[in-house]
Chains A and B, each alone.
Chain A
Amino acid sequence: MKRPFNPDVEILHYCEHICNAHIQVQRTNKDTGTWYWDYPAMATICHDRSWREKRASYSHRPNSNEYNTVLKKSFQAIGMIGKKPNLPGKRYPIGNCAEQNAANIYMNQCGEGDLKNLFFSKAMRPRTKEVFPYCDNCKDVFPNL
């Protein structure tokens, strides 16, 4: 079966979009708070099992007011949102990761309430298009990573 989209191609396109927007916004000197004034450190795409729905996002500060309740509960099982959990492995403050932000948008906009139904593209650094491994917070929270 032909996939409606290929997540690993989509993430490359998304990173190219970020790079183009970044260059344009810095040249035209819009408000420095504009999206992509600085490159995000990481980007990813969250999608469903059948590759029909997708939402892209990037690493940024957590805003716990906007979290989907299922996702928030899962975050709180490993630690405090905005803080690095005191657990072994490669970890960042909870809520910072591109995967966590993409999943939150996906769950809120697509009405998804089960973390088992979330799948992800590769995690990519927009500037260089390097692929990075998922962190241990994300592996703990998302069953398909």
Chain B
Amino acid sequence: MAEYDKTYQQTHDIDWFCKIGNTAMHFASNGGLLPKKVNNREVNSHIQHVVATMDDVVSETDQILVNSRYVYERLGANESRESYERYIESFVAMAKKGFVSFDRMIEKDTYMWIAKPKKTVEVATDELPRFDEDICHRYALEGDVVHVDCLNRVE
């Protein structure tokens, strides 16, 4: 199975997906390297297509939580409401499909959640790669962030 090569990963903002326990998660790679377990171009492209064709399971935007504090901090105090809306758009779209949606913080090479459904909802696919929940909580999940280098320790 072909992996994404390093240059492709560094020059693209790849959507990748997984399940940790019962939580479906979406990540925007923002030029970062993918965890080994999901670095499979054929499988990830198939999942991307499946997700792209999914219907929304949360229809109302007020049923989506947005990590506004982080987004405003990331964008800076001078940014407008339009910049905020543009930033969150793709993450809210994923949250409407039932995913907790994360963006990569370049400086720390970790992922921060940006948008998620207020109530956990079932995502209509069983094709997402799974990470062991207990081990993830021990190594990779820390409050609002996910450490990708630690996900590589989790099989």
Contact = CB atoms under 8 A, between A and B. Distances in A.
A59 B48 CA distance: 21
Contact of A27 (B8, B10, B13, B52): B52
Interface in B45-63: 45, 48-49, 52-53
B31 A26 contact: no
Interface stretch (A1-9, A70-78, A109-117, A123-131): A123-131
Contacts of B87: 128-130
B133 interface: no
Given A128-B86, A128-B90, A128-B103, A23 B13 contact: no
Contact of A61 (B7, B41, B52): B7
B37 interface: no
Contact of A37 (B28, B31, B45, B75): B45
Given A128-B86, A129-B86, A60 B11 contact: yes
B4 to A, nearest CB: 9
Contact of A38 (B13, B74, B86): B13
A41 B90 contact: no
B11 A40 contact: yes
A92 B10 contact: yes
A125 B30 contact: yes
Given A82-B7, A127-B30, 5 more contacts: A32-B41, A39-B12, A39-B28, A60-B11, A61-B11
